[in-house]
Structure formats: structure tokens, C-alpha cells
Structure 1
Amino acid sequence: MIDKGSTTVPTPNQSSEKEVLTSSKTLIDSTNGVSVILEEGELASIVGIKITHKETSDAQTPSVLASEDYDLFDIILLDKDGNSLQPTKDTLVILPVDDGKEVARVVYLPNTSTEESLEFTSTNYRDESGQLHQAVVFVAKHFSDYGLVYKKETVSTTDNQPTPLAVNTKQDAPSSTQASASTTAKDGKTLPKTGDADTTSALLGLSLVVGGLGIATSYRRRKN
């Protein structure tokens, strides 16, 4: 886990446990390629993340995802002693997308039989070798299981091969326009809305760090 951009200031009349961030802070799990960006004013005691990953056909697949092609990430925020914490503010989450696949929806699983679909924006990042990868960005209010459900592969009738996915090679970050209305990506696909709240707009603007920080720079691809 990589911690970037942490600075703190004590909250008046409160103990040091209630110190808050004076700037955004990025937590990176390079093994799974997951990044969490904490907003200014978030608890400074959040210093790490723990990720448990499940994927299609896992023996512990939640029932709600039983028939889906998916990646599921149990995300836990940690303090310096390894205790779990919940954020006090909205948080930006960046999840890696399997190469050659397209995300149908991003889901939050409060339990194994229920899912809540979330608005998200597609983006790209480059790893240490300069290779371009896909990712999705969304805003999380709580931390538990978040999943990517992939679109079903379309098979060509001529060569019986999956239809190749067109990847936008420009690393454009979501803009305030994207945060308030459906936006057409450069490859012609329409991205879903990411909400119209000021906080959501500001957090999505932080996705500029996807390229600048080299998010998920060394994680091992799970599927070929």
C-alpha cells in the first residue's frame, strides 16, 4: 500500500485522533490495482487500505453475482493499528478493469443477495512500463464490497472471436460537465452521469491523479 499526499491539522478542541487532512490523500494497493482518494477534511487517522479480491467462479461468489462475469473488491480503510474505519466524507475509488473487457455496471453489495448500482466514469492509466490500462472511477460513501460487472462477450459469426474493445488512448480526466450530465467519450461511447452534487464534482475532478500518480503501477493482471 502506498500513501501519498498526507498532511494533517488538529481539529480545534479535539484530540489528535480527530486530526483531519489539509489536502487530498491517495491510498494505493498495488497488488490489486485499487486506489482510494480521501478528500480534504477526512480523518487523518485513515492511513491504509486492505483489499480482498474475488472474481468470476470464485467458490464464495455472492448469490447476486452468481451468473455474472465480475471482479469484486472488499475495501477496508485502516488506521495505523490495523483497525477498520469508515470515511466521514465522500471518497473517490478507482478500480482496474480486466484488459479487453467492458464494464456494464459498478455495484455496491451491502450483503450477498442485494446490489446497488453506482454511477461511474471510465478512464485510463499507464503502468510503470507505459502500458495503457482501463479503470473506472466512482464515489463511495461507505466501504465494503464493490464490484465490476462486465458486459457479455459478443461473438462474431465469421471468426467466432470476441468483438475487440475500442480503448480510448487519451488519458482524459472527468470534467465538471461529466459530473452533472451524461458525457460522450472520445470513442463515441456514452458515459453515465456521476451525480450533480458539488462534492461529487470535486471528487471526480481529482481523477487527474490517475495518470499523474501512476495509480496501480505494479499490480499483476489477474486475467489474460
Structure 2
Amino acid sequence: MTDSVMRRAELPGMKLFSRGKVRDVYDMGETLLFIATDRISAFDVVMEEGIPGKGKILTALTMFWLERLGVPHHVITDRVSEMPPEVRRFEAALEGRAMLVRKLAIFPVECVVRGYLAGSGLKSYRARGEVCGVALPPGLREADRLPAPIFTPTTKAVSGHDEDMTFDDMASLVGRERARELRDRSIAVYLQASEIARARGVILCDTKFEWGA
């Protein structure tokens, strides 16, 4: 680990749980330690190069939104000085890029909300006039604002690409009542976040949520 680019978080004596595309996760027993590295991932490929400080920016963005949205979440603290002694040994390397979090059972869906027509949503609309089973009015163009935000869930793939699913597909996985709850909460949080972004001159085109219990 260096002060310039952290491509891997190496913490001798601690139990590595997993290495994702960007984050390394250590098992702390009843909690997990999330570490945002400086790795770059695009189109499901992790690049050889890293961006200095990228992990710190990702962590700061995460904390910004969690603090402003007021949604119950998994983070216990992002201050290394408040973490267990075995983590504090690495404070110089981890400060600003680590979060101590609760262990949760994650629902096996990616909860995507779209407020504008772009990306894979645009491709689906042009092919079928709908996105994840949600019919949209004809004549929409790229980057048009949708009449109302739409909920377009995807699978949560362990490897490879996430696949689009309909609301009924999602309900078959988690139950219809839970699916409604996740849909409604996701749209509500998107609307709140969209207003926060808009006040700062930023358009929140779409976003993805992961929920657990």
C-alpha cells in the first residue's frame, strides 16, 4: 500500500473476506470492513492502472449521501480512530477510504431507478418501447426526462453482467410485498437525491440501490 495508488488493501493478520472490482472486504466477526481501493473498473473489467485517491472520493460520496438521505443503512463509522484496534494499526493507509459496516442479508436484486432515458434503458426503449416491462410513451429521445421515474430492477450477478428483469420477475424472487416495498423505497430515495443534486446543478439521470435486512 502506498500514499499514491492503493490497488489492493493488504492487512496482515486480518481475515480477507473478498476482493470486488473496486472494494476489498475484511471479515471482523460481527461486522465487515469495507475498503475502497483506487482500482478502476469499466464494463466488468478491472484495469491495471489505478487513480490516486479514487477510493477516498468514493467513500466521501457514500457518506455524503447516507448522511443527507436519512435512510437506515449499514455503516457504523468511517473514522478509523473509532474502529477496533486491529484496524487502527493501519490508520495511515485506511483513513478516508474505510468503513466499518453491519453484516446484512442482501436481497438478490439491483434496484435501479431511472429518471431520464439513457444508457441501456434507451437501447431497450428503441428496441421494444419499454424498459424492464415498463411501457413508455412513443417519441422519446435520448436523455429526455421521463414523465415519472421508473423502477427497472436487474439481477445481482456474482460474475458477468446483470440482466434486466420485470417487476413480476423480482416478485418471484423476494415476494410481491417485499418487491413493492423495495420499489417504493427506491423511487422515494431517488426523488430525494435528485432534488439534492438538482439544487447543485447536477442531473441525477439514474441510480442503483442495494437493500438488505
Which range, TM-score by smaller chain?
under 0.3
Question: Whose helix proportion is higher, 1 or 2?
Answer: 2
**Higher relative contact order (CA closer than 8 Å, sequence separation 6+):** 1
Question: Whose strand proportion is higher, 1 or 2?
Answer: 1
Q: TM-score, normalised by structure 1?
A: 0.26
Q: TM-score, normalised by structure 2?
A: 0.27
